[in-house]
Amino acid sequence: MVKAVKIAATAHYVPQRIVTNDELSKIMETSDTWIQQHTGIKTRHYALDENTSDLCAKTAVKLLKEAQLPATAIDLIIVATITPDALTPATAILVQQKIGADAAVAFDVNAACAGFVFALNTAEKFMRQGIYKNALVIAGEVNSKMMDFQDRTSTVFFGDGAGGVLLSAVDDPAQEAFVAQELATKPAPEVIHSGRIPHVTQVSAQNYPSLDAFYQDGHAVFDFVITEVPRYIQHFLHINNVSLEELGLVVTHQANLRLIEGIAHKLALPLHLFAQNVVYYGNTSSAGIPIGLDLALKDGRGHKGLSLLSGFGAGLSYGSILLDLSHVGNH
């Protein structure tokens, strides 16, 4: 059995094209003032000529470079996404092909905005078997391709990007990254959904199905996050005998800044402990947590105390992972 699972590297990638609030105001009824007041978001990135597998592959290349590993050393690739290149094959297999990780097994996870937490939890369990030595866990989204650009209530929130980690099985127990984890789902599929495929209504040459537009019930989402998520986090920490004061970094789903502020207030934690990449990247769905984790580590945060990752999204799906990041990379 594996003695420890270490986070050997973190990385992220966002497309070059930056879309400002003012630019969105030219194509829909909104304004920079309205967007910032309601969401805290200033800019987001759009992948105009890239797809999810491209963003994830570029993140994977960064992870391999940081960990100083060849792609052939990767045994497992898990991609979390709700905006795959296609319904099949898995986006993870496309990433595998793009980076030349021929020895890996690859598959996708769909748990909406909690996807990275679900994927990371899954990968860690694979690593414990002792069969898999190095794993890429990446969340990537091209949200811009499923937005209704006449709907300001949803479109202004979202951006594109990818982030991830490289896990390695090691013999030194002191390098263990995973402290505790928990996943949960609460059936409420009507609250957030995207790309529902309609069923066949008649046998017809014109009966080619098209995807429904993305939808979220903003009020229901807000109520769930502000009331249930802080309570869930407190319970998760309690059952694992961890106090709020032991946290050095909190990376929640980057839905919008107002929700992050609300969670911080309910937990009575200072806002500076929370990742806030949503301000310049927008809501990147499952990618928000690994992007925030990478930015925090690159800024020198996260190496002291425990780090909490907490994702929540459509389903409703939610989960948390407590990490010890003191040994990430060369630390």
Return the bridge partners of 43, or none.
20
Residues 6+ apart with CB under 8 A from 203: none
Of 45, 253, 256, 277, catalytic: 253
Gap between the Cα atoms of 108 and 25, Å rounded: 35
Of 21, 51, 283, 327, catalytic: 283
The pLDDT profile of the chain, 331 residues, written as one tens digit per residue, is 778 999 999 999 999 999 999 999 998 888 999 999 999 999 999 999 999 999 999 999 999 999 999 999 999 999 999 999 998 999 999 999 999 999 999 999 998 899 999 999 999 999 998 899 999 999 999 999 887 787 777 788 899 999 999 999 999 999 999 999 988 776 554 545 556 666 556 655 555 556 566 656 566 666 777 778 888 899 999 999 999 999 999 999 998 999 999 999 999 999 999 999 999 999 999 999 999 999 999 998 867 779 999 998 776 788 999 999 988 875 4
Gap between the Cα atoms of 284 and 36, Å rounded: 17
330 is known as an active-site residue: no
193 is known as an active-site residue: no
Tell me what pLDDT residue 329 has: 73
Residues 6+ apart with CB under 8 A from 286: 80, 81, 82, 111, 112, 113, 114, 115, 116, 119, 139, 140, 141, 311, 313
Tell me what pLDDT residue 246 has: 94
At 122, give phi and psi (nearest 5°): -65, -45
Tell me what pLDDT residue 203 has: 59
Write out the E strands in the chain. 4-13, 17-20, 43-46, 76-80, 105-109, 134-142, 160-170, 178-185, 192-193, 215-216, 247-252, 306-313, 317-323
Of 113, 143, 256, 327, catalytic: 113
207 is known as an active-site residue: no
pTM, two decimals, is 0.92
- The answer to whether 131 and 1 are in contact (CB under 8 A) is no
Tell me what pLDDT residue 331 has: 46
Cα distances (angstroms) measured from residue 290 to each of 50, 280, 294, 296: 19, 15, 6, 10
Tell me what pLDDT residue 254 has: 95
Q: How many helices (H) does the chain have, and how many strands (E)?
A: 11, 13
Angle of helix 115-128 versus helix 288-298 axis, rounded to 10: 80
- Identify the residue whose tokens are 């996260």: 302
